[in-house]
Amino acid sequence: MSKILIIEDEGSQRMLLREFLEERGYTVDEAETGEEGIKKVKKMAFDVVLIDIRLPDISGIEVLKEIRKINLEIKAIMITAFQDVKLVVESLKNGAFNYLVKPINLEELLINIRKAQENLRLEREVKVLRTIVRPERLKGIVAESYAMKQVVDIAIRVAGSSSTVLITGESGTGKELIARLIHEKSQRKNGPFVAVNLAAIPESLIESELFGYEKGAFTGADREKPGLIERAHGGTLFLDEIGELPLPLQVKLLRVIEEKEIQRLGGLKPKKVDFRLLTATNRDLEEMVKAGTFRDDLFYRINVIHIHIPSLRERKEDIPYLLEHFLKIYSAREAKKIKGFTREAYELLLRYHYPGNVRELENIVERAVVLSQGEYITTEELPLSLRKEIFPQEQEFLSLDERIEAIERSIILEALKRNNWVKTRAARELGISERVLRYRIRKLGIQENKK
């Protein structure tokens, strides 16, 4: 059972927390001041520390900083009697696991401690795995939140199997990164990793791109061309946006999965192929099966193992680390010595809801780094659309591109609402294909809301 340290100057509060936790089997120690708490951390290994933000000698944030210098593994839960956004943001920025507001809800405290325990367990598992595999294998994946640590943990555990994996999640959450992680941890890591975004290929070309063709198979086929499935032989085939695959080709893909062989367009003999199949989608395939737009037999074939990546809104703990991660990348690329964000810019970035998920956050940081002229990124370097969403009262004028984007978003939203969010009908009304409509919805970050 975890060892917990309570750093709290109120004696009655310490006693209440200690008795509650000891009754549930935890080993608990306590400290009345910040300095006393730091000394105890130096002498004993604790898993979780509860820290009052306002202590009589030094601030709880200073205690947090010192404790993390001693032991980065410790999970700190901050406690405050004040709903002070700036202090909470600062504590999270400095590595706090979470925070609770007084009067403490004991059941909420228990849930947070259990999450911290699980988070710590996953971190230790990943550390062990990093001693076995090359450290750079996890490069590009920021997984500090409990939710993302679970995703990475599952991905690493399934990597050694040959089962098909379906990765779901909103656009921009990092589905391809998880697919690459599975490939790089698998026995096929020395083979090719072939990533195919089906939504990016015109429907008329998908078949020839996937299956390849022989010379003379159709007008313009002046040479033979191996398909993408064939190129994945000995490695991993990652089919992104699998929900965009037309029904006739779903039948062909199912046959490839079952028979482990393909037939090029215009070819007479099938070719044996050996690959591990990973797929991804931001669509609800089960609903598509019910609607008859996705084959149920193919769905069950690709959904052997399901990994769902939560949206950035569901794992806000990752935002500070993602900001730091991309700031380092783009500062180095632009040869700029940017130390960080101003407090105002940082708080704004933490409050934003990121409809485009990690991809949108990365784009925002890249833009800010390119525009920055000082040591710190300010609110002026952040997109005006973001600032206006957080602060609607801001009276600056939108650029021409931003005005066009706002008008387009409004038109599409109105069409979706009029058609009860049925995209087929909305697309017909707008005079565009459903595929184009889905692309515009993703690009504009429109979130479905049927209320």
| Residues 218 and 272 reside in one and the same domain | yes
In a domain, 451, yes or no: no
In a domain, 278, yes or no: yes
| Residues 17 and 112 reside in one and the same domain | yes
Kindly provide the residue ranges of all beta strands, DSSP E only, lying in 102-209, ordered along the sequence. 165-168, 193-197
What CATH number has the domain bearing residue 36?
A: 3.40.50.2300
In a domain, 63, yes or no: yes
Q: What are 111's two structure tokens?
A: 């849930």
| Residues 159 and 53 reside in one and the same domain | no
Q: Which of 93, 95, 63, 100 is nearest to 78 (CA)?
A: 100
SS3 of residue 278 by DSSP: strand
In a domain, 250, yes or no: yes
Per the structure, how many domains does the chain have? 4
First-last CA distance in the chain: 45
Which phi and psi (to 5°) does residue 99 adopt?
Answer: -140, 155
Omega of the bond leading into 103 within 30 degrees of 0 (cis): yes
The CA dihedral of 50, 52, 55, 59, to the nearest 10 degrees, is 90
Distances (CA, A) of 15 to 5, 18, 56: 12, 5, 18
Pairing of strands 212-213, 225-226: antiparallel
Domain boundary among 72, 92, 121: 121
Q: Report yes or no on whether pTM surpasses 0.85.
A: no
Domain boundary among 92, 121, 150: 121
What CATH number has the domain bearing residue 164?
A: 3.40.50.300
Q: What are 296's two structure tokens?
A: 């149920």
| Residues 241 and 317 reside in one and the same domain | no
- Report the interhelical angle of 434-444 vs 400-418 (nearest 10°): 130
SS3 of residue 201 by DSSP: coil
In a domain, 72, yes or no: yes
| Residues 37 and 115 reside in one and the same domain | yes
| Residues 63 and 147 reside in one and the same domain | no
197 beta partners: 240
- Run of H or E residues at 77: strand 75-80
Q: What count of residues does the chain have?
A: 451
Q: What are 221's two structure tokens?
A: 């086929």
| Residues 298 and 335 reside in one and the same domain | no
Q: State which residues form the domain around 88.
A: 3-121
Q: Which of 410, 406, 314 is nearest to 358 (CA)?
A: 314
| Residues 302 and 405 reside in one and the same domain | no
Q: Which of 106, 11, 2 is nearest to 52 (CA)?
A: 11
Task: For residues 120 and 112, give the distance between their C-alpha atoms in angstroms, rounded to a whole number.
Answer: 12
The string of DSSP codes covering 246-277 is -HHHHHHHHHHHHHSEE--BT-SS-EE---EE
In a domain, 131, yes or no: no
What pLDDT score was predicted for residue 69?
86
The runs of H, that is alpha helices, within 135-223 are 146-159, 175-184, 206-211
Decide if 361 contacts 313 (C-beta within 8 A): no
Measured in whole angstroms, the distance separating CA 43 from the mean position of its chain's CA atoms is 37
| Residues 146 and 284 reside in one and the same domain | yes
Decide if 349 contacts 379 (C-beta within 8 A): no
Distances (CA, A) of 29 to 43, 92, 217, 250, 411: 12, 24, 76, 60, 60
| Residues 246 and 341 reside in one and the same domain | no
| Residues 58 and 185 reside in one and the same domain | no
Q: Which of 451, 449, 447 is nearest to 171 (CA)?
A: 447
In a domain, 130, yes or no: no
In a domain, 133, yes or no: no
Which phi and psi (to 5°) does residue 368 adopt?
Answer: -65, -40
| Residues 109 and 35 reside in one and the same domain | yes
Amino acid at 221: A
Kindly give the parts of the chain with pLDDT less than 70.
Answer: 1, 82-85, 124-139, 216-217, 219-222, 388-404, 406, 447-451
239 beta partners: 196, 279
Q: Which of 436, 410, 440 is nearest to 428 (CA)?
A: 436
What CATH number has the domain bearing residue 420?
A: 1.10.10
Kindly provide the residue ranges of all beta strands, DSSP E only, lying in 15-108, ordered along the sequence. 27-31, 48-52, 75-80, 98-101
What pLDDT score was predicted for residue 395?
40
User: From the CB of residue 100, how many other CB atoms can be counted at a distance below 10 Å?
Assistant: 16
Domain boundary among 352, 369, 390: 390
Q: What are 152's two structure tokens?
A: 């990475």
